[in-house]
A and B are shown apart, each in its own frame.
Chain A
Amino acid sequence: MTALIDVENLTLQFRTDEGLITAVDNVSFSLNRGEVMGLVGESGSGKSVTAKALMHLNARNAVYSPESRITLHTDKGPVDVLSLKTPRDLNIVRGGAVSMIFQEPMASFAPAITIGKQMVEQLQLHGDYTKDQAKRWSIEMLDRVGISDADKRFDQYAFELSGGMRQRAMIAMALSTQPKLLIADEPTTALDVTIQAQVIDLMKDLVAEFHMGIVFITHDLGVVAQTADKVNVMYLGRMVEEGPVREVIRNPKHPYTQGLLAALPKLDDLDAPLTPVPGDIPSPLERPSGCVFHTRCSKVVGDICKRVDPKDRQIDATHKVACHIYDEVLA
């Protein structure tokens, strides 16, 4: 297994009029080549901010803590992502070795420039392609992701394509620079289930073919079960549980993960009542003390949950959880 990216102690705050807001709190993980990591959590949990940090793409008011470290392992050796400053240096993580697919494909293409022109432009920016080579390669990629009449689509605008087609074009564009790491931010959320199934299949094929790593951000645990090798669950900027996909879905340890799974309507048991996770995710301005989840947790073990931020506990070699329930057991 070749390491692809290491994230250590990532803490990220935003400077706002109302003070510093913590978006990501001491998150560490690593990903190997050919591995798919699912990043799960509800809106406001810091999934997208974490992913954007991998490309050093957060807004100017973002403040990284001095201990935060993101190391990308490229063919030319390790790159310290957060130390990159100039646009030229940043090219390596923005479209070079790392690419990103966004949730809303309509918003990700420029509306007044043809799909083809946008694909050629970024290829020429990131590699030594002549215009002709870039065009040929772009059409080949469009064809590869299952777009029929690729040479015709090449000259069309984003609004001329359907939703699923646009998302395929987005994928083709993101992969045409042959990145080592693909960040997919809710790539199927805006799609119908039938098209979602097609896109998921396509992404699985592409991982196998290009042998890249994928960070797959989603709030849909079904999609995670279908795509990921391992799962990280986030809540209010904290990584609360991490482990192999089978472990986390079949044997969830954190009350939040258990809550998410229980809230999911299941097709094989229509009589099971839906149990929501009580309450709403708190505003990041009113971050709870101690364990960030204690305000909604049904398994609070005592005062300690309100006072002390739980440390990561190793359940086994690969399964980690941050919860006080496991304090006595493992201490």
Chain B
Amino acid sequence: MSDVLIRAKGLSVGFPIGGGLFGKQILKAVDNVSLDIEKGSFFGLVGESGSGKTTLGRALLKAAPITGGGAHYSDGEVDYDLERITRDQLKDYRKRAQLIFQDPYAALSPRMTVRDIIAEPLEVMGLTKNRQETDARVREIAAKCRLNLEHLRRFPHAFSGGQRQRISIARALVSAPKFIVADESVAALDVSIQADVLNLLKQIQSDMGLTFMFISHDLSVVAHTCDHVAVMYLGRLVETAPTRKLFAAPRHPYTKALFSAIPSLDPDDRGSAQKLTGEIPSPTNQPSGCKFHTRCPFAIDHCKRVEPQLESDGTGHDVSCHRWKELMASEAA
């Protein structure tokens, strides 16, 4: 397929921890993940904290070490193997792939004006020849993110959370990237503002033909913005599908539990949810077999011993669970 922008194959990210006399232990933050992100898509990545969402996002930006498998980036102009990328290629890749952070309060330097914050990537990467060109570019991007000239002269402290997030977005967009990882980019915002930033991201995506990886723990936000969703648990991909398919009929017990944990807006629909007990295990001490078996209400002996593989059904809805067919059937009955 030519329209895949990023393809990960068996991607693993491990961090060495501890390290005593008898060698080091490896913490596998991302474990054997394969996925395709299509050009122009809004790809959602969900899971609890500690599931490896952020690390996966960073590995795809080549900001975390890839320790197994690999990932490929190809946008029609260039073709990079992220595992074996050269220094010069990496420099170029930084222009093409950008990150928007979670906390707009921490992401912006308080000592720089908004103009300088947005212009910095251009100057560092040497993308413009002179100040006039830089200014023109900054103004163009600022207008896209609904910031006016008056805003550019001010410092970040003068802005509210929503405005700051728009500044972060402008900074990420200024190098005209093709791929953007938005890591919990609306989690720190109030709902009234959150909708505004989400609409802006969608707008920019269609205007500039961008590809987004949208990392979030908020399933209702993901449902509204993304066209494809992947669910992670303890570094593994447990289910991936087009958004509507996933939300209409989730297959993995973990995905189902995540959905039912979303607080319903209906005050009369209390406590009907199927609740997960316990918490996500520590990645240094991972369960055998299926990683989810310690919290899964449907786990059988087989789940404790054998790790399930991601099964493709040909329609793009993949799941890694030994019992999903059986469970779906009993649910339907």
Contacts and interface: CB of A to CB of B under 8 A. Distances in A.
Interface of A: 42-43, 162-165, 192-198, 200-201, 204, 219-223, 225-226, 228, 245-246, 249, 259-261, 263-267, 270, 273-278, 280-281
Contact of B162 (A267, A273, A280): A280
A259 B223 CA distance: 20
B333 to A, nearest CB: 24
Contact of B220 (A197, A198, A265): A265
A42 B276 CA distance: 29
Given A163-B49, A194-B257, A264-B220, A245 B267 contact: yes
B27 interface: no
Contacts of B258: 193-194
Nearest to A282: B160
Interface in B86-119: none
A260 B191 contact: yes
Interface in B221-260: 221, 223-224, 243-244, 247, 257-259
A222 B263 contact: yes
21 contacts: A42-B193, A192-B48, A194-B48, A194-B258, A198-B275, A220-B191, A225-B267, A226-B263, A249-B267, A259-B192, A260-B191, A260-B192, A263-B192, A264-B191, A265-B221, A267-B220, A267-B262, A270-B243, A277-B193, A277-B195, A280-B160
A195 B257 CA distance: 11
B265 A222 contact: yes
B220 A164 contact: no
A222 B266 CA distance: 8
A43 B161 contact: yes
Contact of B224 (A204, A228, A259, A265): A265
A11 to B, nearest CB: 24
Given A195-B48, A197-B275, 16 more contacts: A42-B192, A42-B193, A193-B217, A193-B219, A194-B276, A197-B276, A219-B190, A225-B263, A226-B270, A245-B267, A265-B218, A266-B220, A274-B199, A276-B192, A276-B199, A280-B163
A328 to B, nearest CB: 28
A164 B224 CA distance: 27
Interface string B133-166: 0000000000000000000000000001111000
B194 interface: yes
Query: Could you tell me the dominant secondary structure of chain A's interface residues?
Result: helix
B77 interface: no
Nearest to B274: A197
- Which bracket fits the contact residues of B? 35 or more
A266 B266 CA distance: 11
A269 to B, nearest CB: 9
B261 A274 contact: no
B20 interface: no
Contacts of B49: 163, 192
Contacts of B163: 280
Contacts of B191: 42, 219-221, 260, 263-264
B223 A265 contact: yes
A228 B262 CA distance: 16
A221 B268 CA distance: 14
Contacts of A195: 48, 279
Contact of B192 (A201, A246, A277): A277
B195 A270 contact: no
B284 interface: no
Contacts of B223: 265, 267, 270
B277 to A, nearest CB: 8
Nearest to A45: B190
Contacts of A42: 190-193
A278 B192 CA distance: 8
A222 B262 contact: yes
B271 interface: yes
Nearest to B295: A194
A163 B49 CA distance: 10
Contact of A267 (B48, B194, B247): B247
Contacts of B162: 280
Contacts of B268: 246
B36 interface: no
A228 B259 CA distance: 21
Contacts of B64: none
A245 B269 CA distance: 13
A247 to B, nearest CB: 10
B100 to A, nearest CB: 18
Contacts of B221: 265
Contacts of B195: 263, 265, 274-277
A42 B267 CA distance: 21
A245 B190 CA distance: 20
Residue of B191, B258, B264, B271 contacting most chain A CB atoms (<10 Å) = B191
Given A194-B276, A197-B273, A225 B264 contact: yes
Residue of B192, B221, B244 contacting most chain A CB atoms (<10 Å) = B192
Contacts of A270: 223-224, 243-244, 247
A270 B222 CA distance: 10
B196 interface: yes
Residue of A43, A226, A266, A277 contacting most chain B CB atoms (<10 Å) = A226
A223 B247 CA distance: 21
A200 B194 contact: no
Contacts of A245: 267
B136 to A, nearest CB: 27
Given A196-B263, A219-B190, A259-B192, A201 B224 contact: no
